[in-house]
Chain A
Amino acid sequence: MEKIFQKLSLASASLVLVILLGIFATLFYEAKPAIDEFGLHFIVDKHWNQEVPIEAGDNAAAPKEEEQSVDSMLFGDDDATPMKTVFGGLIPIVGTILSTLIALVFALPIAMGIAVFLAEMASKTVSKFVGIAIELLAAIPSIIFGMWGLYYFAPIIADAFGGYQVSLLTAGLVLGIMILPFMAAITRDSMNTTPDVLIESAYALGATKFEVVKDVIFPYSKVGIIGSIILALGRALGETMAVAFLIGGIYSLPEKITDPTISIPVAMALNFGEASGLGENALFYLGLILFVLSFAIISLAKFYFLKRSKI
């Protein structure tokens, strides 16, 4: 019995590894046709589901030629060049990165402020109350942020900055609100690891609160704070529902911050249902890129924390 239980527990723990490897393998397998077809050029290609002329010497899409010539006959186009359907990931990749960066720029100062307020400023009762409220903000389902953002937040932002209601900017800002509690909570926790002795000595030397935070707490908990920022970044990359409401969901490169575009999770959410064949493979390719990206970023953050706990 003891042995069985031990084996069972080992098996359950290994399940995590199996699932993770399974995700990698499945995404790779499903993306394989798209990877073979487009290679790494996928990352910098801005065409999504568009017909482009076949370049000389490229015979990968030869079967499509026939179909295309029927099309061109219909449209009466005499000197049609052979075309093929191309999927490229540049627009969703750029959309993901830009919306995440906007979220980070917006959330960072506010999250730091909240963390300082909770850790150093507020009385115990106030800190507890505000802390719970901030945690509740984190508990609200992302789809609610999306709906609220679309109908209440976006119009205000569009009035203030011009441009479209659904845009990179509104998506980024709502994303920022969503990672705010997460970032604030981890930052507060790492600030709280600063030994009281250090803080009290600084006060005893006549330092103001600002100086204590700036010269004692921040340097001490720097590593943890950077870790929290990177972790929040990793979270923001994969956020789907709120961004799906707000980013617009169209495949076009944004020229301004107030233009609508698309991100990787949103591309998957919107197009997965009707995609088939190469289109579906291309979506899995996007998913693979997203997964690898967030895996790398979160591991990086974990390493910061690990380094810290060993010191």
Chain B
Amino acid sequence: MRLYLNKLFLALSALSALIGLGFLTWILITLFIRGVDSLHFSLFLNDLINGGLRNLIVGQLILAGLASALGVPLGMIAGIYTREYGRGKYAEFIRDLSDIMMSAPSIVIGAFVYAFAVAPFGGTNGFAGIIALAIMMIPIIINTTDSMLSLVPKELREAGMALGASKYRVILDIVIKAAKVGIMTGILLAFARIAGETAPLLFTSGTSSYFTMNLSETFPSLTVSIYSLANEPQQSSRDLAWAASFILTMMVLVINLTGKFITRNKHK
């Protein structure tokens, strides 16, 4: 009886793992079939207004890239505070808050940014989208920086101090260098995460059918366009949405796998 129960239990666990893998395969295969079907090279040369995706891909990369340019330094320095400078309750408090913020509903962050960066200026704009994505990114960067710095042995810091270097020199030249790979991976994963976000962009950047580099106007976004295209009745729009989804997912998964691969090599 005990042994049968054990077998049943193990079978159920293995089945759960299969179900999880099954969903992943199902989604990826769907994306692959529908995506490759509607994928043409011309999609990369034309803008949405001419049935292509060029402006959307470039727009999404600009939004996520500039959000990283804003969020990564802020998050890293804040992470340095919570691990290196901060003592006692306040650093602990900030660490907890940033963990909580990591799970905050992204749509609410969008609404927050809308209230101060969209409504007063009369319309959706690229800057608002960047701010919203940066707010999503900062807690993730704080979290990785903080935990990667905690892995750096104390002796390294002490050795630096003993050489007479000031604390910020020790942090920037020794501690950060030692934790470089881990932090880089964290940044890659955070970038992949915000590059696929839709909800915070819905009413901040909006999306546009035209190519633009002007951040003060409504800015093209791949994810927001997927949402609107997928809900349109014409088959051609939906096909375009599938192609865009395929490109987006491949981008996100490749960045993700690269990050994982880097950490793996480091551990060997």
Contacts and interface: CB of A to CB of B under 8 A. Distances in A.
Contacts of A240: 105-107, 198-199
A144 to B, nearest CB: 5
Interface in A108-145: 109-114, 116-118, 121-122, 130, 132-137, 139-145
Interface string B72-113: 001101101110111000010110111111011111111110
B81 A117 contact: no
Contacts of A122: 17
A273 interface: yes
B253 interface: yes
A210 B6 contact: yes
Nearest to B76: A12
A113 B104 contact: no
Q: Which residue among A9, A118, A290, A299 has the maximum number of chain B CB atoms within 10 Å of its CB?
A: A9
Contacts of B115: 26-27, 29-30, 284
A181 interface: yes
A26 B6 contact: no
B148 interface: no
A298 B103 contact: yes
Interface string A273-289: 10000000001100100
Given A9-B85, A13-B82, A133-B21, A144 B31 contact: yes
Interface residues of B, number: 84
Q: Which residue among A12, A29, A290 has the maximum number of chain B CB atoms within 10 Å of its CB?
A: A12
B150 to A, nearest CB: 13
B245 A143 contact: yes
B80 to A, nearest CB: 5
Contacts of B192: 139
Contact of B6 (A30, A113, A209, A291): A209
Contacts of B184: none
A23 interface: yes
B77 A9 contact: yes
Contact of A144 (B13, B27, B80): B27
Contacts of B227: 143, 146, 241, 244
Interface in B1-29: 2-3, 5-6, 9-10, 12-17, 19-21, 23-24, 26-27
Contacts of B67: none
A152 B26 contact: yes
A170 interface: no
Interface string A160-182: 00000000000000000100110
Contact of A114 (B17, B98, B139, B199): B17
B166 A208 contact: no
Contacts of B112: 22-23, 26-27
B219 interface: no
A113 B78 CA distance: 37
Given A110-B20, A240-B107, A209 B9 contact: yes
Contact of A291 (B17, B99, B104, B230): B104
Contacts of A193: none
Given A140-B27, A208-B3, A16 B97 contact: yes
B114 interface: yes
A152 B22 CA distance: 14
Interface residues of A, number: 86
B231 to A, nearest CB: 8
Given A13-B86, A27-B111, A141 B103 contact: no
A13 B2 contact: no
Contact of B9 (A114, A210, A298): A210
Interface in A1-30: 1-2, 5-6, 8-10, 12-17, 19-20, 22-23, 26-27, 29-30
A148 interface: yes
Nearest to A297: B103
B13 A113 contact: yes
15 contacts: A16-B101, A23-B104, A140-B24, A140-B252, A143-B226, A208-B6, A235-B103, A238-B108, A245-B231, A268-B111, A272-B202, A272-B203, A284-B115, A287-B107, A290-B107
Given A2-B166, A16-B138, 6 more contacts: A16-B97, A26-B115, A134-B24, A240-B107, A241-B199, A268-B110
Interface of A: 1-2, 5-6, 8-10, 12-17, 19-20, 22-23, 26-27, 29-30, 109-114, 116-118, 121-122, 130, 132-137, 139-148, 150, 152, 177, 180-181, 184, 208-211, 213, 231, 234-235, 237-241, 244-245, 265, 268-269, 272-273, 283-284, 287, 290-291, 294-295, 298-299, 302, 306
Interface of B: 2-3, 5-6, 9-10, 12-17, 19-21, 23-24, 26-27, 30-31, 74-75, 77-78, 80-82, 84-86, 91, 93-94, 96-101, 103-112, 114-116, 135, 138-139, 142, 166-168, 171, 192-193, 196-199, 202-203, 223, 226-227, 230-231, 241-242, 245, 248-249, 252-253, 256-257, 260
